[in-house]
Structure 1
Amino acid sequence: MIITLGRNSKILAEAATRPVMRAIATLERDIETVFKSDSKKRNDIFLVKAEQENECYSIAVNNNQIEIKAADDLGFIYGIYHISRCFLGIHDLWFWNNQKVDKKECVVIPDAYSYQMTPYAVKQRGWFVNDEVLLHTWTLEGDKDKPWEMVFEALLRLGGNMVVPGTDRNAIRYRKLAAVMGLKVTHHHAEPLGAEMFLRAYPDLNPSYDEHPEKFQQLWIDGIERQKDCQVIWNLGFRGQGDCPFWANDPRYQTDQERGKLISELIQIQYNLVKERIPDAVCCTNIYGETMELYQGGHLSIPEGVIKIWADNGYGKMVTRRLEKNYNPRIPSLPEKEDAGSHGIYYHVSYYDLLAGSHITMLPNEPSFIRQELQKVLHVGVKDYWLINCSNVKPHVYYLDFIATMWRTGDIDIEKHRTGYIRKYYSEDNIEEISKCFVDYFKSATAFGPNEDEHAGEQFANHNVRGLISTFMKNSYQPSEQLQWLQPKETFEEQVKLFDLFYVKAVEKYKCFLEECKKTAEILSPEASELFQDSLLLQAQIYYYCNSGAQFITKSLQLALDKDYKNAFYYAGRAREEYVLANTLMRQREHDKWKDFYENECLTDMKWTANVIHGYMSFLYIVGDEPYFYEWQRQFLYSEEDRRVVLITNMENHITTDELYALMKSRRAE
């Protein structure tokens, strides 16, 4: 018997819920994408309710049709995506990696085919769509919600079952879409119970629980009522009205005992409010940042059965994150053996910290390091909950696929995974060359500290550069407190020289890496080259040109400190050109469906770095050419004989900062 799937194959179900019907519609879309029009009768796919473990499915050929057997929605959804992946060849990250599909007549399924899914290694597994500034403004086919649908589809294809569907207002807007696609909803650690933020509801009131307990509790109750129709993992806690602890704005809580006591009381109140309305509710709470110090100090009390979520430091290391710019305790962030109950992790493949995080580029730490940290997590039994900060998805798809392999199987063969990833999304050819670029991406990273996780993302050459410039313009002698996080220095000049050392080394490494990526792009097929340019080559360009710009700035600042404002101005102009180029190259990758994807890139924001540099250039122009503002103009605009005869200071309007730089650059070229 020959079993075939083709354009005429139907997906049949006795009764299907809305999430399953959406998955069926997705498979129908994939069938239409893969197969040519066909008049021949093909075999159908039938969904059969049967006894299976939760979220599991089996697939077999039976009665001349392909049967997917499952006991619940996610079992059917995962089974449907198995058909798409294994029979139709639609890969899990097809959308995000621009998979091109060659049309075919049909696919033949072995009549003895059978597959039984085994439960995944991690129970609750998903993404936190955080710092989502690119997704926030991007539309697909004029639809603002479509990008989020593609996020949730990719998560389901990778075996995820929960999501924080955005931050703040986005989380409220997109949780219904996540739920109808079959995902459980959970919450930002600063948004307990997914309730409206206090300051949104009461912008004129002080956000103090002591002053307004009834208002806080009503917001929590309203949040529960609005989500009762969704599957929810309820996040409990009390942090603050932003990504900072509540005591930063409330001087009444000065000791760890006072802070821990209030948080414990409020967690218990939230727990009771949920359980009164949903007796079988699953709850969690974050042992994150400053909260972990309270917990490990014995100042937090958490109800039995609540999942305790531990977090990495933003760079993939399971230690506490930097709590303030210059306070980085690096306390191990995993439960001790005697810490009974359920445990989970909140883990970053993208991090926005205004220091050295990677937001529009891949996490720069080695896959072997990420595997090592997640193996530690599994070794101590943290298998109840993995929430991965996926940011805007597209820049981070490699590591999202990597970690999904681990949450499914409990381990990963790094080389096998990398080769398979390249073969699926780039090309069957030139695997060795592309693989070397992936390996060298991590080898090129700038180490900013002695620890294995301390490698700089693209923010290192943006936020710190802006900090150096603003410090100089305010006071060129005192070091910036905000920049002491790297290494404490006595003077601003020492800070500039310190950052210069890092940028010089980064430029050397990324110059080689960029050349390697360019050569690789040239030998690839047009389709493979397009994806390669969208991913590794673009990230190489961002790192090289941002670090090159940063190096020009540190050179400029050293000249400015010596009061050589004219040359400082020139090198600032060179720096600005590098950042403008980096941003331009990024925007050039917005082809086809990606139109305007990077338009709202406002967190690393290379274009803003260029703008800050422009202001710095104007500052240098003013302090360097004062008090009469004609000497620089005469030097670069006039001929030698006219420059030296000063009967009238200038015979034309003063030239702008941009005009002056263009003249200076052309003179240097001569």
Structure 2
Amino acid sequence: MILNRNSQIVATEPPKPVQYAISALQRDKKAVFTETGMPGGDIVLAKDSDLPPECFCLQVHEDRLMLTAADALGFVYGLFEISRRFLGVQPFWFWNDQKFIQTDGVTVPQNFTYESKPARVRYRGWFVNDETLISHWKVERRSEMPFVMVFETLLRLGGNLVIPGTGKNGHRYHDLAADMGLIITHHHAEPLGAEMFVQAYPELEPKFSLYPEKFRALWQQAIDRQKNTPTVWNIGFRGQGDKPFWEDDPQYDTPEKRGALISSLIREQYDLVKHSDPHAVCCTNLYGETMELYQQGCLDLPDEVIKIWADNGFGKMVSRRQGNSNPRVKALPPQGDTGAHGLYYHASFYDLQAASHITMLPNSTEFVCEELTNALRHGVDDYWLINCSNVKPHAYLLDCIAQLWQSGTADPEGHRIAYAQAYYGKANALPVAKCLAGYADHAVSYGEHPDDHAGDQFYNHVPRMLITQFLRDRTQPSEDLNWLCDRPALSGQAAWCGEKFREAMQNYEQYLRQCEATAATLTGAARTLFQDTLLMQAQLYTFWAEGGEDVCAALEAGFVGDWKHCFYQAGRAKNAYTAANAAMRNREHGKWIDFYANECQTDVKQSAQLCGYLMSFARTMGEGPHFYEWMREFNDSEADRRVMLILNTDNHPDDDTLWRLMEQHWGQ
């Protein structure tokens, strides 16, 4: 049979999720198939209750492609499989600007049959978290369109679960995600998806001990609001604003008191949900301080609740570092534990220390696959929630993880080549795959553990910690840096960091050359995509490493009172961070215009700004209060400098202008 633009999709009263998938397939047909006068075989949807949930069967029957499934998600997955298998539309087509090979039709063999298998992980999906890029970006002048494409991509990957955004975004896009067929779950800081107490009652102290009935009313309202929506109910009691509740209520001053309250409230929330729906599925996060309470035996949880374990933000299944505390408690159930277990895993993380938010995880897919397959060996297969952040920077890793949640096995090298071939073309697959592998190979290790590789925040937040302490009190070390380099003096911390940044400069100069050489071999859409992704990230790390090293050099000069060179090196750092921000903004084209406009978490712009503060401080220390000596030294001729009849004859230059005068003398 022939599939072409004239092929019709025949379905009887399809529910909303299937309606969306049908419209997406119709859109894909228009993108791939050219107009033709030839008739096309129809795609016919028919229910088959004997198939497993979420599964489908494709079979040619009398010049029709029959799609049978037992439920809505089965049909959705089947429609997207038709798009992928026969039209060539890949899951990340939107995020990777896939260029489709147009044709007047494709032939499906008369004996074609394909039956999908149940996914290895029961509930699997994404948490759209720290979504500061897509939340301020519009597609087709529509603010919701980026989220539509997030949810569509997740469905194309076989996902079925989502937290559709953080805070207000989670509520704003709740119905959209559900209408597209996704099961809703909740942020661990928002049990049951309820409105936060401090938002509902901003004038009251957020203490359960003072207002238990108001907390309970918010929980019940959330249950009533979502009772007709497929939901995995996240139950728990952490605090307002993603922090422990005892920070607002210090009477809970022991692990036993904290665990007792959490246990009682989880049981109460569980009973509320089960009263509304006896078949409801519930989960709870063992995250941060909650996991410590569980490991100490201070939590008593209902048997049916899925216990969610979390990685540390760098892909390792141990407790996360919080400030300077990094106990690295193993975050997996003991083997043989037959309870229900899940995981919360970060493709993107935000820790204001060393994580990756606007660039890929700096650890290899081999490392990630080993951690996740090990989790499966420990029985963690009921629930996988992956922090996908803004999707585009993390597409490669998200694609790899989706293969794992679908089949339970992974071949990182094979996946790299297949991914490169799918989006960059068969002829370019090997060199692009080498660059994908090279990204993690060139990442700098900042600690003793195999996952201690520096991401984008290391090159931005660490220099800002150094500068901030230098401006506050350069005689004392920065306590904010004790997790990284606990030294008795700030100068020692700056020297240690400077060595790391110099190592990174060498690594990323090599990686940048590798990416530039690969880019030179690419043409057309493949080259543009490579420039938007791997080459851009190589450029960013090269600029950031240079900026970090320049910050440390500036501080080194400042420690000995060499304020001219402190000013000059700070200006070099400012220029490096400004160039990094420009490298991101320069990759905005077509629909990507303003994608990076709200880059506010790693916030490269802020790094440049703080380097500007350091310039002004050094200039004040070095030539204040009258500010004429450096201007005369770098702007006037030697003859004019020898004669001083008037202190200054021109307006004082601003810092950037003065730096450019220095660059003429000192620059390479």
TM-score above 0.5, yes or no: yes
**Which of the numbers 355, 358, 363 marks the counterpart of 1:357?**
355
- In the other structure, the counterpart of 2:248 is 249
**Which of the numbers 549, 571, 574 marks the counterpart of 2:572?**
574
Alignment of 1:431-450 (within 5 A): 431-450=429-448
The farther-off stretch of 639-648 and 577-586 is 639-648
- In the other structure, the counterpart of 1:25 is 23
Is this contact kept in 1: 2:138–2:144, CA < 8 A?
yes
Alignment of 1:182-331 (within 5 A): 182-322=181-321, 324-331=322-329
Is this contact kept in 1: 2:337–2:379, CA < 8 A?
no
Deviations 1:644-669 (A, max 9, x none): 22222111222211221121112324
**Which of the numbers 39, 42, 48 marks the counterpart of 1:41?**
39
**Which of the numbers 617, 620, 637 marks the counterpart of 1:619?**
617
- In the other structure, the counterpart of 2:95 is 96
- In the other structure, the counterpart of 1:122 is 121
**2:162 is aligned with 1:163:** yes
**2:528 is aligned with 1:530:** yes
One-letter amino acid of the counterpart of residue 241, structure 1: Q
Superposition deviation, residue 431 in structure 1: 2.3
The farther-off stretch of 98-107 and 424-433 is 424-433
Distance 2:268 2:39 in 1: 60
SS at match of 1:643: helix
SS at match of 2:7: coil
The farther-off stretch of 91-100 and 656-665 is 656-665
Distance 2:422 2:289 in 1: 42
- Provide TM-score, normalisation by structure 1: 0.98
Superposition deviation, residue 274 in structure 1: 1.1
**Which of the numbers 445, 457, 460 marks the counterpart of 2:458?**
460
Distance 1:181 1:326 in 2: 42
Is this contact kept in 1: 2:420–2:430, CA < 8 A?
no
Superposition deviation, residue 63 in structure 1: 2.6
Deviations 1:48-94 (A, max 9, x none): 10021000001101132110110001100000011000011111111
The farther-off stretch of 650-659 and 515-524 is 650-659
Q: 1:42 to 1:338 in 2, by over 3 A?
A: closer
One-letter amino acid of the counterpart of residue 292, structure 1: M
SS at match of 1:101: coil
Deviations 1:17-53 (A, max 9, x none): 1111111111111111111111221100000100210
Deviations 1:507-547 (A, max 9, x none): 00000101111111111022111010111001101111011
Alignment of 1:332-351 (within 5 A): 332-337=330-335, 339-351=337-349
- In the other structure, the counterpart of 1:406 is 404
Is this contact kept in 1: 2:442–2:511, CA < 8 A?
yes
**Which of the numbers 504, 507, 531 marks the counterpart of 1:506?**
504
Distance 1:207 1:49 in 2: 50
**2:639 is aligned with 1:665:** no
Distance 2:414 2:364 in 1: 15
- In the other structure, the counterpart of 1:6 is 4
Alignment of 1:358-507 (within 5 A): 358-507=356-505
Superposition deviation, residue 627 in structure 1: 3.3
Is this contact kept in 1: 2:420–2:428, CA < 8 A?
no
Is this contact kept in 1: 2:162–2:182, CA < 8 A?
yes
Distance 2:143 2:110 in 1: 43
Superposition deviation, residue 338 in structure 1: 5.5
Is this contact kept in 1: 2:178–2:229, CA < 8 A?
yes
Distance 1:229 1:637 in 2: 73
Distance 1:289 1:628 in 2: 52
One-letter amino acid of the counterpart of residue 626, structure 1: G
Alignment of 1:534-545 (within 5 A): 534-545=532-543
One-letter amino acid of the counterpart of residue 557, structure 1: L
Is this contact kept in 1: 2:338–2:379, CA < 8 A?
no
Superposition deviation, residue 107 in structure 1: 0.3
- In the other structure, the counterpart of 1:141 is 140
**Which of the numbers 569, 592, 595 marks the counterpart of 2:593?**
595
Deviations 1:81-131 (A, max 9, x none): 110000111111111111001221100000000001111111000000000
Distance 1:550 1:360 in 2: 17
One-letter amino acid of the counterpart of residue 32, structure 2: V
Percent identical among aligned pairs is 50
Deviations 1:532-563 (A, max 9, x none): 01110011011110111000110110000010
**2:668 is aligned with 1:648:** no
Is this contact kept in 1: 2:347–2:360, CA < 8 A?
yes
- Provide TM-score, normalisation by structure 2: 0.99
Is this contact kept in 1: 2:418–2:429, CA < 8 A?
no
Distance 2:488 2:502 in 1: 22
Is this contact kept in 1: 2:186–2:193, CA < 8 A?
yes
SS at match of 1:396: helix
Superposition deviation, residue 161 in structure 1: 0.2
One-letter amino acid of the counterpart of residue 353, structure 1: D
- In the other structure, the counterpart of 2:556 is 558
Superposition deviation, residue 235 in structure 1: 0.2
Deviations 1:440-470 (A, max 9, x none): 1111001011111110101101001111001
One-letter amino acid of the counterpart of residue 522, structure 2: L
Distance 1:72 1:628 in 2: 77
Deviations 1:375-424 (A, max 9, x none): 11010111100000000000000000000000011011112111111110
Distance 1:126 1:432 in 2: 29
Superposition deviation, residue 430 in structure 1: 2.9
One-letter amino acid of the counterpart of residue 659, structure 2: Y
- In the other structure, the counterpart of 1:131 is 130
Distance 2:354 2:244 in 1: 22
One-letter amino acid of the counterpart of residue 222, structure 1: Q
Distance 1:93 1:563 in 2: 53
Distance 1:164 1:574 in 2: 42
- In the other structure, the counterpart of 1:176 is 175
Superposition deviation, residue 241 in structure 1: 0.9
One-letter amino acid of the counterpart of residue 230, structure 2: Q
Deviations 1:584-632 (A, max 9, x none): 0101111111110010000001111001111110111111112332111
Q: Between Structure 1 and Structure 2, how many residues are aligned? A: 667
Distance 2:29 2:631 in 1: 67
SS at match of 1:257: helix
One-letter amino acid of the counterpart of residue 477, structure 1: T
Unaligned runs of 5+ in 1: none
SS at match of 2:125: strand
Superposition deviation, residue 574 in structure 1: 0.7
Distance 1:168 1:432 in 2: 41
